[in-house]
Chain A
Amino acid sequence: MKANFLQIELKRSILRWQFWLAIILMGGLIIHGYHQAWIEAIHGPADAPYPTSTPADNNAFLVFIYSQGNTGLSFIGAVWPLVAALIAGDSLAWDRKSGYLQSVLLRIGYKKYIIGKIISISAITFFVIFLAESLLFAYGLIQFPIHDPAQMDPQYYPKYGSTLFSQFPYLYSFLIIFNISLFGAVIASTCLLISTKIRNLMVVVALPWIIYIVLSFVIQVIGLVPFAPIILTADYFSYHSDLWIIPLIWILLWGIISYLTYLSFQHQFRKKGSYEWNQKN
């Protein structure tokens, strides 16, 4: 059943223009980030917010980490939620808006439906980002020189997981890809949560992005800068943290939001004993 759901949702996602817009945005902005990092990290001004390095220090691994949206070298950090939401986040809103949900609910229990939806949409977003990022990483390996980070000046290391970066740069790069893919799953489940209340597709796709920006601002204002979403997704150079912190935060958030989505959807069928009535009011 779950495999069926995954297949259907994947097919639905791929056949939408929003999916391809997400791929183009991700590819374009990360490749732009690569080249921006390559040029500026070598030739940037002395007072640049990022460390400038010599060509010998610079390498494909370092520019890949920069390309994820660090300190203005890439714009992707600012639009990650939009990219993730475009992949498949509007699926439930489409089902509700078009009335298709009614046809689906004649064939599957609503609990199975929402659980299948949460798992499949999160998994699709996770794997699409993982695959696209892996291809972009491969592009960086072909495009830029590969130096052993252990030979680099340690001042240029990212602060998040610097030991892993210096010793196992490939593994480190895949950890970054894994983290951002998990973040994608969090955004996907946020879209589903919003869709249980709102059927406007624009709102469903854009609201997680607005929440991301507002939360990042508020969290930084109250002094918890390392935990601001924009720092967790894009800036690996400014703050020290254990390797497991970022994935743990995303996994916990995904679990909480998914559970809330389940409760909110279930509530539609309980309130006044009438799903349809709630759809109209």
Chain B
Amino acid sequence: MEPKKLILQFEDVDKRLGKKQVLSQVKLEVYTGEVVGIIGANGSGKTTLLRLVTGLIYPDRGSVRVNGKRIQPGLVGELPERIGALIESPAFLPNFSGLQNLKMLAEIRGTIGMEEIQNTIRKVGLDPTMKKPVKTYSLGMRQRLGIAQAIMEEPDILLLDEPTNGLDVDGVEMFSHIIEELTAKGTAVLMVSHQKEEIDRFCDRVFQINQGKLTLLRSKKERKWQVVVSSLEELERVYQLVSSFTMTERVNGDPTGICSGEWETAEELYTFLERHQIQVRKVRETS
């Protein structure tokens, strides 16, 4: 696996929109293959942060660097790295089908052909042969097409704004697979949302944005673990040890519970529990 490389960097970025100071002294580094999440209330500056990366707006102070190159006026569309983005609601030409829309966008760069476009449409759970114009698509279908638009050219940086908005359970699962696949290939993902569950599920590092300032909430991805123990007493001890632990249905008659945490592997959690003299039958990662 290639070593992680710094690909996106915010250095003391200030941004004012009208009279409102939207971002203040923002520092952020994103590396290849990681998913960074930013959580914040509506109007807190999450989307502005993404727009700064696209070059559609520029910082008032500080700098945004993509692969070491500074985003500056005139750079929009000629960014140093390929960027895929789904910012706010997905925008398409309403009178054309999803395939036609993606084909027109892909033809601008000319780096992918019809086959790749159709595969991407299938990947997001849509039918590439569907002739319906986008204006007749449901919110979820538009969102899927928006994701397809953002990922079809296999970007180096993927910017996502409330990506699971309007997606059903299958859609969220599909999105999860896509993120895993892209990050495995080294794509850096910067995701913003006001939904904590969304950010917790997909992101390795999580920041909170409040009054224009960015604060680190979590430096590692939290995973969910199923823990099977030998007795109810053991289960009680796990419950006292791990704050996120909740009891679930027994597995093969053994008391079982689920917890979340930053353990990287099942062995890590197993060792942690053993160290506290808890007799564990089985630990496995769960979704």
| A interface list, Cβ under 8 A from B | 4-5, 7-8, 11-12, 15-16, 94, 98-100, 102-113, 269-270, 273-277, 281
* Min distance, Cβ B51 to any Cβ of chain A, angstroms: 6
Which of B88, B105, B110 is packed against the most chain A CB atoms within 10 Å? B105
Q: Hey, what's the 0/1 contact readout for B67-95 against A, CB within 8 Å counting as 1?
A: 00000011111110001110111011111
Q: What CA separation (Å) do A112 and B78 show in the bound complex? A: 10
* Min distance, Cβ B16 to any Cβ of chain A, angstroms: 9
In the bound complex, residues from chain A placing their C-beta under 8 Å from that of B96 are 12, 15
Which A residue sits closest to B149, measured CB to CB?
Answer: A103
In the bound complex, residues from chain A placing their C-beta under 8 Å from that of B92 are 98, 100, 103
Check B169 for interface membership: any CB of A closer than 8 A: no
Asked if residues A100 and B91 are in contact (CB atoms below 8 Å), the reply is yes
Q: Tell me what chain A mostly uses at the interface: helix, strand, loop, or mixed.
A: helix
Asked if residues B93 and A12 are in contact (CB atoms below 8 Å), the reply is yes
In the bound complex, residues from chain A placing their C-beta under 8 Å from that of B107 are 4, 7-8
Which B residue sits closest to A94, measured CB to CB?
Answer: B93
Kindly identify which residue among B18, B78, B108 contacts A8, using a CB–CB cutoff of 8 Å.
B108
* Min distance, Cβ B23 to any Cβ of chain A, angstroms: 13
Q: Tell me what chain B mostly uses at the interface: helix, strand, loop, or mixed.
A: loop
Check B130 for interface membership: any CB of A closer than 8 A: no
Kindly identify which residue among A99, A113, A270, A277 contacts B77, using a CB–CB cutoff of 8 Å.
A113
Interface residues on B, range: 35 or more
Check B174 for interface membership: any CB of A closer than 8 A: no
Q: Hey, what's the 0/1 contact readout for B97-110 against A, CB within 8 Å counting as 1?
A: 00010001101111
* Min distance, Cβ B81 to any Cβ of chain A, angstroms: 11
In the bound complex, residues from chain B placing their C-beta under 8 Å from that of A102 are 54, 56, 85, 87, 91
Asked if residues B58 and A106 are in contact (CB atoms below 8 Å), the reply is no
In the bound complex, residues from chain B placing their C-beta under 8 Å from that of A105 are 54, 56, 76-77
Can you list 17 A-B pairs, Cβ within 8 angstroms, ordered by A?
A: A8-B107, A12-B93, A15-B95, A98-B94, A99-B91, A100-B93, A102-B56, A103-B85, A106-B79, A106-B83, A108-B77, A108-B109, A109-B75, A269-B74, A274-B17, A277-B57, A281-B18
Given contacts A94-B93, A98-B94, contact A109 B78 (CB under 8 A): yes
* Min distance, Cβ B145 to any Cβ of chain A, angstroms: 11
Check B60 for interface membership: any CB of A closer than 8 A: yes
Q: What CA separation (Å) do A111 and B54 show in the bound complex? A: 15
Given contacts A103-B105, A106-B54, A107-B77, contact A273 B60 (CB under 8 A): yes
In the bound complex, residues from chain A placing their C-beta under 8 Å from that of B17 are 274, 277
Given contacts A274-B17, A274-B57, A277-B57, contact A109 B77 (CB under 8 A): yes
Q: What CA separation (Å) do A22 and B93 show in the bound complex? A: 20
In the bound complex, residues from chain B placing their C-beta under 8 Å from that of A273 are 57-58, 60, 73
* Min distance, Cβ B110 to any Cβ of chain A, angstroms: 6
In the bound complex, residues from chain A placing their C-beta under 8 Å from that of B84 are 106
In the bound complex, residues from chain A placing their C-beta under 8 Å from that of B89 are 99
Asked if residues A108 and B87 are in contact (CB atoms below 8 Å), the reply is no
Which B residue sits closest to A11, measured CB to CB?
Answer: B104
Q: What CA separation (Å) do A48 and B79 show in the bound complex? A: 65
Q: What CA separation (Å) do A8 and B93 show in the bound complex? A: 12
* Min distance, Cβ B123 to any Cβ of chain A, angstroms: 18
Q: What CA separation (Å) do A153 and B149 show in the bound complex? A: 65
Asked if residues B51 and A8 are in contact (CB atoms below 8 Å), the reply is no
* Min distance, Cβ B117 to any Cβ of chain A, angstroms: 14
In the bound complex, residues from chain A placing their C-beta under 8 Å from that of B58 are 273-274
In the bound complex, residues from chain B placing their C-beta under 8 Å from that of A100 are 91-93
* Min distance, Cβ A191 to any Cβ of chain B, angstroms: 17
Q: What CA separation (Å) do A89 and B38 show in the bound complex? A: 41
Instruction: Give the 3 A-B residue pairs with the shortest CB-CB distance, closest first.
Output: A99-B91, A109-B77, A107-B108
